[in-house]
Amino acid sequence: MGLTRGAPAALIAALAGHFHPVVLMVADWPDQVVRLHSGVGDLTWGGNVYSGTSITRDGKLISLLRPDLPAEEGGLATGDASVRVAGPLDAIRAEKGVALRNRSFTVYFGATTERAGTTLVSDPVEIFAGYFAGRSFSFSGGAEAFLHDMILQLGIGPAARARASITHGYEDQIAAYPGDTAGRQVQNALKRARNPSVWPAA
């Protein structure tokens, strides 16, 4: 089974050589739709502004938001996905009570014209679409730094073993048709056929 997705010709051409990748993320946060990208500064695409989630320190680009997405492959079971958010301790703790479960989260991949740039070479392509499924917090400290992250678990569909069933019983029948005893008679007949009563010998 081959999984393919379309991509603009300009993006394919950019990927053929040395390119500058960028990841765009759209999160349905409770108070507003949050649009972010993995670079620095504001990036505009589709009439919307995406805020950068990276900082430059000592000439190095440091990302404050890191998505971990499953590989694209065929199969019944879904892979694990998450996004790790780093920030000030007060800001991370303030988000503990925010209700996120089942809110949508979408990720796009593209390329910019320069390193840490804000100009796309073409429209990006969607590489992940799911929802927030859970949340945990990571706090660790050392002699020089104190780290605090929020890890958001992502879901992309029902579990591989999820199933549904429909049952119509006698109670459902008489609720729709009061006084109808046909359902009860059929149920009792099936029980007698499969597990007949056996009375002890007199």
Q: Where are the domains of the chain?
A: 9-155, 165-196
Higher pLDDT, 170 or 83: 83
What is the average pLDDT across 124-149?
Answer: 76
CA distance 157 to 135: 17
What is the average pLDDT across 45-55?
Answer: 88
**pLDDT reading at 159 higher than 60:** no
Higher pLDDT, 55 or 112: 112
pTM to 2 decimals? Answer: 0.67
pLDDT of residue 111: 93
CA distance 134 to 80: 12
**pLDDT reading at 95 higher than 80:** no
pLDDT tens across 16-42, in order?
Answer: 889 999 999 999 988 889 899 988 889
Average pLDDT of the chain is: 78
Q: What percentage of the chain exceeds 70 in pLDDT?
A: 72
**pLDDT reading at 2 higher than 60:** no
Name the token pair of 132. Answer: 């927030």
What is the average pLDDT across 116-126?
Answer: 91
φ/ψ bin of 177: left (φ > 0), alpha (ψ from -120 to 50), beta (otherwise): beta
